[in-house]
Chains A and B, each alone.
Chain A
Amino acid sequence: EPEVTQTPSHQVTQMGQEVILRCVPISNHLYFYWYRQILGQKVEFLVSFYNNEISEKSEIFDDQFSVERPDGSNFTLKIRSTKLEDSAMYFCASKDTEWGYNEQFFGPGTRLTVL
């Protein structure tokens, strides 16, 4: 069964460093998302991406964040200068179409720890 994969599973970084979180969405999917979940809190939408453009972003997704689909398979989230409060689980999700309800399939997440 196809699934969304994410690497690394755990990333530890120093405050102020840049990190890139990687996701491989399901191969025929066209819509891609990043969510984050701070420990003990709710899953929060960060950004949606379609046709090589950001289609929607939340207030959390400020200038420190960027997303890219560098090739036909990867979808990345970059945090330019990490802050302590960026420590969270980051989930990638993908789905195949916007019409009607289509399930967003979530990856297993990357746990980011900023020291």
Chain B
Amino acid sequence: QKEVEQDPGPLSVPEGAIVSLNCTYSNSAFQYFMWYRQYSRKGPELLMYTYSSGNKEDGRFTAQVDKSSKYISLFIRDSQPSDSATYLCAMTGASKIIFGSGTRLSIRP
């Protein structure tokens, strides 16, 4: 079983739609759960992180973690064409980061 699984997409939605991105994981030792955005041939850029289970909101972005199900989600409200990118879920105990494969998202104007 892979440590982190993420649907690679691509996912294409119209502008203004709510986007839901998800990952599952297998390692119970993970404590911090992150979402990164990555543009082509660029380094990952941290969007937000969550510690343990729960929700965290930052503007149009909401991250959810359910440790009992080993399932994390990122919701994007009122999606904009500028949100088009690859979104990587990631998790860590405290040191090395384990990344999902990324979901390529395209927001159609």
Contact = CB atoms under 8 A, between A and B. Distances in A.
Contacts, number: 51
Interface stretch (B10-18, B60-68, B69-77, B92-100): B92-100
A55 B95 CA distance: 9
A41 B101 CA distance: 6
B49 A101 contact: yes
Interface stretch (A11-19, A62-70, A74-82, A105-113): A105-113
A23 to B, nearest CB: 11
Contacts of B98: 45
Contacts of A41: 101
B41 A45 contact: no
B100 A89 contact: no
A4 B51 CA distance: 25
B96 A42 contact: no
A48 interface: yes
- Ranked 6 nearest A-B pairs via Cβ: A106-B43, A43-B99, A45-B96, A42-B101, A101-B32, A42-B99
Interface of A: 31, 33, 35, 41-45, 48, 55-56, 58, 89, 91, 98-101, 103-104, 106-109, 111
